[in-house]
Amino acid sequence: MALIQISEPGKSAAPHQQRLAVGIDLGTTNSLVATVRSGMPVTLQDENGRSILPSVVRYLANGSVITGEAAKKAAIIDPLNTISSVKRLMGRDIADINASSGDIHYEFAETGSPAPRIKTVAGNVSAIEVSAEILKQLKHRAEQALGGELTGAVVTVPAYFDDAQRQATKDAAKLAGLNVLRLLNEPTAAAVAYGLDKKAEGVHVIYDLGGGTFDVSVLRLNRGVFEVMSTAGNSTLGGDDFDRAIANWLKQQAAISSNVDQSLVRQLIQKACDAKEALTDADSVTIEISDAANGISWHGTLTRDILRGLIDPLISQTLLPCKRALRDAGITRDDIADVVMVGGSTRVPRVRELVREFFGREPLVDVDPELVVAIGAAIQADILVGNKPQDEMLLLDVIPLSLGIETMGGLAEKIIQRNTTIPVARAQEFTTFKDGQTAMSIHVVQGERELVSDCRSLAKFELHGIPPMVAGAARIRVTFQVDADGLLSVSAKEQTTGVASSIQVKPSYGLSDSEIEHMLRDSMSHAEQDVTARNLREQQVEADRVILALQAALKADGERLLSTDEIRQVQSKLEMLQKTRQGNDHAAIKRAIDDLNQASTEFAARRMNESISSAMAGHKLDDFGR
C-alpha cells in the first residue's frame, strides 16, 4: 500500500519549489558531485555507474576537450596534453611550481605573467581553465541526473588554501557556469557528513589526506553548531607524493636514467599508483615495466615493508601539523572524541597505523573517505538554497593565517589573527606619521612574523584626500572583512572627512609549496628574535617622530624662546638620540628619547604657554565659558 507524506498546513514544499543544489569535491586526483534526494545525501553517477571522476583533462588539436576516465587512460600516450593534479597549480606562480616540483611534466608558456599557463596542442591553458573543465563535467552530470538547471553549488577547498587559491577555485567555478553558494573547507564538509549522520557531539579531529593536499582540523560539534577550533596542514602534500616516491624507487630498480621522455614518466607514476592501491589488501605486488622506445623491460616485487620505508617520511610530515592543531585548539589527545579519516590516501594501511599511534585511538573509516567531503558539501548546499531551515546547522570555519597591514618601520600589524572564526570583520585605527600628510599607502600582508619582510604581500592600495594636519591627528580606520568563503576585502576611511578607499584582495598567485607551514614554524622558532626586532623598529620609529617634531619646533621658535645654553643642551641630546637611533639596542634608544624629552620639557611648556596666550589675546575669560 502506497504511503503519502502529510505535512502541517503551509509547511509542505511543492515539487517545483525544490531548488536543485549540489556539493562538489574538486579533488587533486578525483572529483565528485553529490546532492540531497528525499532527505538523504547521495553521490551522483555517470552513465557507467561511476561516482568518481578522475581529475584529468586532455586537450586535442581540434580544440575539443576530454575529461575524466578517458583522459586518464591517454596520459601515457599523450602526456604533455593530458593534465592531472592541476589542483596543485591553483593560485601559485611559476617560480613556486618550479621550486617545489622537480618532477613537473608540463611545458609552461612564457607569458610575462606570474600565473602559469600550460602549453597544449589546443593552445595555452591556465590551472583555472583546466579546473573549470572538470567542474563543467560535474555540472553536466548533475543536471542530467536531476533533470533541471542548478540553483547553486557548494565547492570544497582544503582548509589550508590561502586567499589566492580560494579565489582561483571560485574563478574556475564561475568559468564553468556554476553559482557558488559557498567555498567550504574540506574537513568541515567531512564533519557535516559525520556529524549529522552520527549525531556525534564533542571534539573531533578531521585528518584529510588527499591526492595533493593535507589538512587537519579540530572541530567542536554541539547542537548543530560546527565550530572549527584550529586548522593546520600542507597544501602540497598528498598521495601524489607517495606515487612519486614509488616511481623513483622503480627508476632505481630498473636502472632508468632521470632523463627519460614524459610518456615513460607517466607510465612509472601510473604503475606506482596501481601498486600502492594493490598493497591496501595484499602484502606484495608484482610490477612490470616495458618501454620498447627506451629499451626497458623490467619486472620486480614491491612489498609493504619496502613501501613503508618509502612513504613513512611523508606520513610523518602530516603529524607535525597535527601537533600544532592540538596546541592551537588548547586541547590534548585525551579531549578528542574521535579521529575521522578523509581522502583517498587514508586508504593506505600505513597511514591509518601511524595516525592510530599518534592519536592513541582507532580512526573512523566507516564512511567512504573519498565520498564524505562531497556528501557534507551537498548537505550544506541543500540548506543554503532554502530546502532546509537555515538554523538547522551552523558552520563556523576559521582562517589559516593572520592578516594585517604594514606600519612604519616595516612592522606587520595583525588585524585578524589566525584561527579566527569566519565570516569576520575587524577594524583598527591608524594615523599619519608626518605633518601635512594627505595620503596613505595601505599594504596588506599575511603571515605570523613581526616584520613585513618575513610575511607574504597580498595587495596594496592608497587612501587620498586626508586633510593636512599635524602628525598623529588624522584618524584612519582600516577594516578587514573575510567572508564565509575565506576571501578578504580591505577598506580604509578617514574619520573626519569620510574619504575612503577599498580593495578586493585578489592576488594572481598564492603561497608557495609549504610556505604556510614555514610561516607558522618560523613564527615559533623566531619568536624571541621577532620580539626583539619589533621592539627595535618601534623605538626607531618613535625616535624618528621625536627628532622630526623637535627639529621643526627649534626651527620655528628655538632662537626666540630658548637661550644659547638651552639650545646647546637640547641639540646635544638631539644629536645623542640621532646617533643612538642607528644602533641595535632598543633600550638605549628609549633612554635617549626619554633624555631628549626631559631636556626639551621647558621648551615645550613655553611653546604651549605662548599658544594659549595667543589664543586668548583680545578675549575675556568669560568668552571661553560661553
Concerning whether 186 is annotated as a catalytic residue, the answer is: yes
Query: Is the distance from CB of 152 to CB of 21 less than 8 angstroms?
Result: yes
Q: Are strands 394-398 and 225-234 parallel, antiparallel or unpaired?
A: parallel
Query: Is the distance from CB of 159 to CB of 215 less than 8 angstroms?
Result: yes
Concerning whether 435 is annotated as a catalytic residue, the answer is: no
Catalytic residue (choose from 87, 139, 170, 271): 87
Residue labelled with grid coordinates 558552520:
395
Cα 394 to Cα 106, 375, 391, 590: the distances in Å are 42, 16, 7, 49
Mutual orientation of helices 127-146 and 163-175 as an angle, nearest 10°?
50
CA trace torsion 218, 223, 224, 225 (10° rounding): -50
- Amino acid letter at 321? P
Runs of H (alpha helix) within 279-348? 304-329
Please name every residue paired with 497 in a beta bridge, in sequence order, or none if there are none: none
Tell me the helix, strand and coil percentages in the chain, rounded to 5.
Answer: 40, 25, 35
Is the bond preceding 187 in cis, omega lying within 30 degrees of 0? no
| Residue 271: φ, ψ to 5° | -60, -40
Per-position DSSP letters for 436-487, written without gaps between them:
T--EEEEEEEESSSSBGGGSEEEEEEEEE-PPP-STT---EEEEEEE-TTS-
Catalytic residue (choose from 93, 133, 186, 513): 186
Q: Phi/psi zone of residue 177: left (φ > 0), alpha (ψ -120 to 50 degrees), beta?
A: left
Entry field: residues in the chain: 626
Catalytic residue (choose from 25, 241, 243, 448): 25
Concerning whether 240 is annotated as a catalytic residue, the answer is: no
Query: Is the distance from CB of 126 to CB of 106 less than 8 angstroms?
Result: no
Grid coordinates belonging to 152: 547553486
Query: What is the distance between the alpha carbons of residues 102 and 415, in angstroms, rounded to a whole number?
Result: 37
Cα 599 to Cα 81, 343, 558, 561, 605: the distances in Å are 74, 68, 13, 14, 12
Query: What is the distance between the alpha carbons of residues 407 and 444, in angstroms, rounded to a whole number?
Result: 10
Cα 201 to Cα 207, 226, 258, 326, 332: the distances in Å are 17, 9, 51, 18, 17
Catalytic residue (choose from 96, 208, 215, 370): 208
Q: Which residues are catalytic?
A: 25, 87, 186, 208
